[in-house]
């Protein structure tokens, strides 16, 4: 087994990255794949809440990187699906606690044991983005049909291509076909 690393990102907050990450992870694990989710949004973690694992966190991503625990100790197995795991982000640290090199090393350690490694990224193009893009084999850019979200997604796609991680795949969330027909929403 040599797992593929999928980074779910966007330029804008609130477009559905975390929900998309969780939904893809659950779907893949229900199909029999062994999946681990990494919350890369250090300081603002939410993937644990979406997955219903917030009360089971003992260690987090920064604890692993800083050597306070082993990788397996930070992994939380999903309550309903034994093939699905989460490594939560630190809630009390900032993005500088982890480097792109740390993320590559961590994902390389996970690859032999998992089919898929899904990384939920922070919004924007700062340090957190660089951390989660570094290990990516596949990049999913989540956006919605608002002008600002599409503009930010376009910028992210350019950065993904400049890092030679492309082509990025685009997920358009919250598209309402009837509003598109009436001209009230951007169309694809």
Identify the CA nearest to 74 among candidates 84, 85, 60, 62.
Answer: 60
What ranges make up the beta strands (E) of the chain?
4-9, 35-39, 76-77, 84-87, 116-120, 138-143, 169-172
pLDDT at residue 169, rounded to an integer: 93
Tell me the domains of the chain and their CATH numbers.
4-181 (3.40.50.300)
The mean predicted confidence, pLDDT, of the chain is 91
What's the pLDDT band for 34 if we cut at 50, 70, 90? very high
Bridge partner residues of 7 (DSSP): 119, 139
Q: Which residues are CB-neighbours of 8 under 8 A, at least 6 positions away? A: 17, 20, 21, 24, 118, 119, 120, 121, 140, 142
**Beta bridge pairs of residue 4:** 116
Residue 26: which pLDDT band, with cuts at 50, 70 and 90?
A: very high
pLDDT at 185: 60
Give the up-direction half-sphere exposure of residue 68: CA atoms within 13 A in the CB hemisphere: 9
How far apart are the C-alpha atoms of 20 and 120, rounded to whole Å? Answer: 9
Asked whether residue 20 carries a pLDDT value surpassing 80, the answer given is: yes
Determine the 3-state secondary structure of 61 from DSSP.
helix
Q: Report the Cα 62 to chain-centroid distance in Å.
A: 16
């Amino acid at each position: 087994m040599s797992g593929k690393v999928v980074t779910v990102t966007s330029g804008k907050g609130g477009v559905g990255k975390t929900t998309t990450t969780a939904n893809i992870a659950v779907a893949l694990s229900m199909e029999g794949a062994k999946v681990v989710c990494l919350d890369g949004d250090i300081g603002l973690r939410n993937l644990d809440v979406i997955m219903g694992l917030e009360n089971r966190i003992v260690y987090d991503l920064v604890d692993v990187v800083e050597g306070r625990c082993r990788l397996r100790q930070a992994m939380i197995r999903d309550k309903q699906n034994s093939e699905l795991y989460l490594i939560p982000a630190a809630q009390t640290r900032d993005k500088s606690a982890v480097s792109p090199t740390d993320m590559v090393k961590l994902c390389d350690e996970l690859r032999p044991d998992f089919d898929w490694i899904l990384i939920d990224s922070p919004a924007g193009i700062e340090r957190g983005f660089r951390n989660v893009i570094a290990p990516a084999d596949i990049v999913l850019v989540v956006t919605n049909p608002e002008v600002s979200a599409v503009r930010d997604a376009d910028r992210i796609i350019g950065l993904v291509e400049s890092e030679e991680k492309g082509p990025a795949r685009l997920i358009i969330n919250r598209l309402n076909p009837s509003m598109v027909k009436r001209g009230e929403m951007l169309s694809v």
